Structure 1
């Protein structure tokens, strides 16, 4: 963790120093940089410990777990934003945004309702590629390296998901508190809602990681979450004065729905190969957690 902290601190300082000065290019560079710090830290740590980076669960695993990892965020985000729209905390749909997307694609003659479906499909397929590219950097570190280390020490799904989720959440705090990584609401509110959401997602990601023995489930889950929240449902929603308190990763609705999903996955912990608190036999999920 000290290596991750050191590497991340460099990007945190650069980002905070240029707060309000950087354009989209600067935001992309620092955004990609911070998300790949965990991967670089994992690589350096493996070198120091004499481990192979190829041991970090790169196998694809069963396709159904990849599909479920992709669809799970779509489902909880859809439920969350539908609640927001029905309750009037945000509007459906942002006609100006969709019109701009139609103009960019040259499809101005397509009916808005039809284009909304096309936009969802395009983002869900093509937009997933760059989202995977950024999520992979974090997941190599969090689910590829850190999670098996914690699981090997605690031998508990609940503890592994909680500890790794808390570390994952706190890692975001510097930019959330001192940067502009929030919805514009009070920092304390963003900290609470974001922490609930991230730790809850950790329970889902941990379940898929242990069940599939593949870090790619974490990548797919992470990429899908970022894509559908930031790239689809947020921009499609009309913002009212109080919308920021309900939508996105820093509102109350999405983290609350994710928490319910996390509870569901927690109830299925007995299905996992590493769950000593339910008296199941641990299996090899990492060279350090094998029969050696």
Structure 2
């Protein structure tokens, strides 16, 4: 089986398996945020890996086994970068967003209180400031590690298989564009249900599709970068888990309102157009450095 055909089969399987879960939940009337929907998303995160393993069973894909094991021989600093960089970029992005929309910023943590009240976990005896600090602490310590166990399912497929196969055929920039496009559209069923941006933003749903592509394109560059630097997809899984843990930190400082819900397309999550600017800039700097390094290597050969 040709590599081109294998890629199409892989993408088709990854989409079909995940979309069956998400559309099935929607068909049964299960909304985002409900426990069954969260469980479904957790299962869907492993569908790219399942698609890859189906290909392996068909003997049409081969990724070295050592990529599945953590390796620190190429530098612990890249694992620390994977652990902390997403939180730093998320906070910078939220800061940029609140510099523009200052009337939405608050240190009263009203949004956090509303979420705790909605879930029945709000206790007046526990200061909201302490809860917010604990959220930040977990995002920079143990939460990315736990999240990486779920993110590994995506990374086996997207960065373990799809990225290196496309890289053999396309340029570095073209490969990141393709992976970002495929990865972002993979999220389409839940994005149309309000995942990340809600349903109230201007230009629904097409602007959300574009915002998700920009976010996935930016993040994919960083995930591929740490994977190549460490030689292990565990590094990209850790960074993926870190962005999942830190993406909502900006919401802690936002005043809740219906108008704010309609502005999620802009931030304060790094998936928004404004709050995602630091992530995009950092990714483009990394991409330019990688392109320069690749060019120099080819020149010296």
Give the TM-score range, shorter chain: 0.7 to 0.9
Aligned with 2:125: secondary structure?
coil
Q: Aligned partners of 2:279 and 2:32: how far apart in 1?
A: 32
1:288 is matched with none
Q: 1:105: how far off? A: 9.4
Asked if 1:132 corresponds to 2:145, the answer is no
Q: Aligned partners of 1:249 and 1:16: how far apart in 2?
A: 26
Alpha carbons of 1:107 and 1:60: their partners in 2 closer, same or farther (altered >3 Å)? farther
Residues 58-77 of structure 1: pairs in structure 2 closer than 5 A: 58-61=68-71, 62-77=75-90
Asked if 1:169 corresponds to 2:187, the answer is no
Residues 239-254 of structure 1: pairs in structure 2 closer than 5 A: 239-240=256-257, 241-242=259-260, 243-247=263-267, 248-254=269-275
Asked if 1:160 corresponds to 2:175, the answer is yes
Q: Aligned partners of 1:163 and 1:50: how far apart in 2?
A: 21
Q: 1:107: how far off? A: 9.1
The answer on whether the counterparts of 2:22 and 2:41 sit within 8 Å (CA) in structure 1 is: no
TM-score, normalised by the number of residues in structure 2: 0.79
Unpaired runs of 5+ residues, structure 1, are 282-292
Residues 1-292 of structure 1: pairs in structure 2 closer than 5 A: 1-19=11-29, 24-49=34-59, 55=65, 57-61=67-71, 62-87=75-100, 88=102, 90-93=104-107, 94-95=109-110, 97=112, 100=116, 108=125, 112-113=128-129, 116-154=132-170, 156-177=171-192, 179-181=193-195, 182-184=197-199, 185=201, 186-230=204-248, 232-240=249-257, 241-242=259-260, 243-247=263-267, 248-270=269-291, 275=294, 278-280=295-297
Moved more, 81-90 or 16-25: 16-25
Q: 1:96: how far off? A: 5.9
Equivalent pairs counted in the alignment come to: 273
Alpha carbons of 1:131 and 1:235: their partners in 2 closer, same or farther (altered >3 Å)? farther
Alpha carbons of 1:188 and 1:56: their partners in 2 closer, same or farther (altered >3 Å)? farther
The answer on whether the counterparts of 2:49 and 2:157 sit within 8 Å (CA) in structure 1 is: yes
Aligned with 1:68: secondary structure?
helix
Q: Aligned partners of 1:251 and 1:81: how far apart in 2?
A: 10
TM-score, normalised by the number of residues in structure 1: 0.81
